[in-house]
Chain A
Amino acid sequence: MSPDMTSLGGTESKETDLHQLGQMLGIGQNSRATGPGRTTSDLSLDEILLLHSVGLEPVEVVFGVGCVSIMAGVWVWSTGPVTDAHDAFHRALDEAKESIRQQAHAAKAVGVLGVDVEVKCSYHRAVVVVTGTAVRSCTDEAGQNRFKVSYRYPFLCDLSARDFAVLTTAGWYPLDLVAGVSFVHAPRRALGTAIGQSTQNVELTNYTETLYQAREAAMEELQSHISQVGGTGLVDAKIVDRPVHFASHVVEFLTYGTAIKMLAKEHTHPQIATVVPLDDKVRTFEATSLD
């Protein structure tokens, strides 16, 4: 008869005695596993603990891949936005999101957390890979779901499980990953203007206008996607703003994140205590070179 694991440890919500945990380890090694095994997860332990406190548990590592072609020649220096690259990126992202949702659905998950978004744009293709952990509701002793919110299809959330737990406790729930992107050619400066401007301090208004336009377009797109999925906001937006590495006259502006929505009646503030750690982490001296 395998030893009784349930008799160890308290059921009140206070910290379990460390010694008891050591005992469980010894006994557990020699007992059979309970419950359905074979779950996989890329969440850390701390995140799993926090997830349990909001009624969810990990099921499986899921991923989705989207690869879409880009016509040759779109990167040649011309003017205006590179719409082909923009469309290819969105198509690739949609394909990836659809794949990961299918995997999550097959695992009977309520959503996917900690989604890591990898975007690789090369000369003739856009590749988007999304990886995360599908989660489902825990059931309590009576067989009821502890996570009370139901979703029509699995949500996708690029926030960590820890951020998810804290945000949902405050009343906000994730809906979907949304993104806005803009690829734009930098304007060319005519030679005459170039020489004329060489000694002046002056704003280059056509450059400013072009890049501004590109960024605004991407942020506008992000906002419209948030509304489309029914969200009211977005936190922790990731912004990537850089020249495209293989075509440096094209600037890429990408912004993405998770659309969220308030489901509780009002925002619940967490109780916050202040602490002073005595860990000597204060930076009192730093030497930097002037190079």
Chain B
Amino acid sequence: MTPDAAAQPNAFDSGLTIPDFVACLSMGLQPVGLVQGFYCGQISGWSSYSTYAVTTYPCACYEQTVHNTGWLGRVDALDSAWRSAHQVALERMLKEAADIGAHGVVGVTTEMNHPTNDKSCEVHLYGTAVVVEGAAAPAQPWTTQLAGHKLAKLIEIGFVPSAVAYTRCTAVLVEGCNMEYYGSGRCGTGYVIIPLKEAHELARAGAIDAVRRASGDASLYDVRLQVHESEGSGSTYITCSLLGSLVRRVRGTLPLATPISTVSLGS
């Protein structure tokens, strides 16, 4: 909110589209202002390159003889930088919302520079702060990517929004030996490459579990998983980024009115 606007009573600015704005008013959600949180940080060289949850496996080359071990684990260096960048940006947006007395923030948009960027992380969160008429303010404003009729549908199926969620998990696979790396170690077709499979699973499971553990009694909906794989010099990094909405179920689902099937003749 600009200082001039903030000075006027009952003024608000909102990033909502017109249909969403109308729907919010009908629901009794009064917009009070556009709030945002921003964080831009530099990622220092990978000195804090901690790996954990490491498991080793024997490399299986010609005729299954073992002559080296490879390992598979999680790498935290970039992940923690990105996770805390998002956390700080979110907290800043929540603070702005709380300062103007908002109950929650709707229509939250998350913008980040590319997650494979290893020099800097920038996270920009913004949304429209709202007050729910006739309700008490919660301890901390809730946040959701939804607004308008979509938010109404969420409540109709029995959930209320809790927070926007973001996490990232990177698994690294270091191949056991040159033979394995160059692929010629496996001289046949059809062997299941267990370490690579486990690396993929580790990255995804790590991301989903991280959010689950931090979510309390909330459920994670509208999950978007983005997986990036990079290979080089005998090691493979698999990074899984997850964006989603944390929601809490507070009642059973209301029965859905039967939707009408239509064929559009306009296009």
Contact = CB atoms under 8 A, between A and B. Distances in A.
- Touching in the complex, A and B, CB below 8 A? yes
B187 A22 contact: no
Nearest to A141: B252
B8 interface: no
Nearest to B260: A273
B197 interface: yes
A61 interface: yes
A276 B266 contact: yes
Interface string B109-138: 000000000000000000000001111101
Contacts of B2: none
Nearest to A278: B266
Contacts of B219: 37-41
Interface in A107-124: 123-124
A87 B261 contact: no
A18 B225 contact: no
A26 B103 contact: yes
Interface string A271-288: 111111111011100000
Interface stretch (A8-16, A212-220, A232-240): A8-16
A25 interface: yes
B264 A52 contact: no
Given A38-B217, A40-B220, A276 B256 contact: no
Interface string B213-240: 0011111111111010000000000000
Interface string B13-26: 00000000001001
B193 A18 contact: no
B146 A28 contact: no
A40 B196 contact: no
Interface in A56-70: 57-58, 61, 63, 65-70
Contacts of B248: 28, 33, 37
A76 interface: no
Interface residues of A, number: 82
A283 B267 CA distance: 7
B160 interface: yes
Contacts of B35: none
Name the prevailing secondary structure of the A interface residues: mixed
A48 B157 contact: yes
Contact of B225 (A44, A125, A131, A274): A131
B22 to A, nearest CB: 10
B148 to A, nearest CB: 10
A272 B153 contact: no
A69 B186 contact: yes
B197 to A, nearest CB: 5
Interface in A246-291: 270-279, 281-283
| Among A58, A127, A138: residue with most chain B CB under 10 A | A127
Contacts of B29: 22, 25
Nearest to B211: A40
Contacts of A66: 192, 197
Given A21-B155, A34-B249, A42 B193 contact: no
A13 B224 CA distance: 31
B184 A72 contact: yes
A276 B155 CA distance: 30
Interface string B183-221: 110111111111011001100100010011001111111
Contact of A52 (B192, B208, B253): B253
B191 A69 contact: yes
B262 to A, nearest CB: 5
Q: Which of B135, B212, B267 has the most CB of A within 10 A?
A: B135
Nearest to A131: B225
B250 interface: yes
A184 interface: no
A26 B262 contact: no
Given A71-B186, A71-B188, A273-B262, A13 B223 contact: no
A18 B152 contact: yes
B45 interface: no
Q: Which 6 A-B residue pairings sit nearest by Cβ, starting from the closest? A: A26-B135, A124-B183, A22-B27, A22-B28, A28-B160, A26-B132
16 contacts: A6-B252, A18-B27, A41-B222, A43-B222, A49-B157, A49-B256, A50-B256, A53-B259, A68-B191, A69-B186, A69-B191, A72-B187, A272-B261, A272-B263, A273-B263, A282-B266
Interface of B: 23, 26-29, 103-104, 132-136, 138, 142, 146, 150-157, 160-161, 183-184, 186-194, 196-197, 200-201, 204, 208, 211-212, 215-225, 227, 244, 248-267
Given A33-B218, A40-B221, A125-B183, 7 more contacts: A28-B248, A58-B221, A61-B223, A63-B204, A65-B200, A69-B193, A275-B265
Interface of A: 5-6, 9-16, 18-19, 21-35, 37-46, 48-50, 52-53, 57-58, 61, 63, 65-72, 74, 84, 87-88, 91, 95, 99, 123-125, 127, 129, 131, 138, 166, 270-279, 281-283
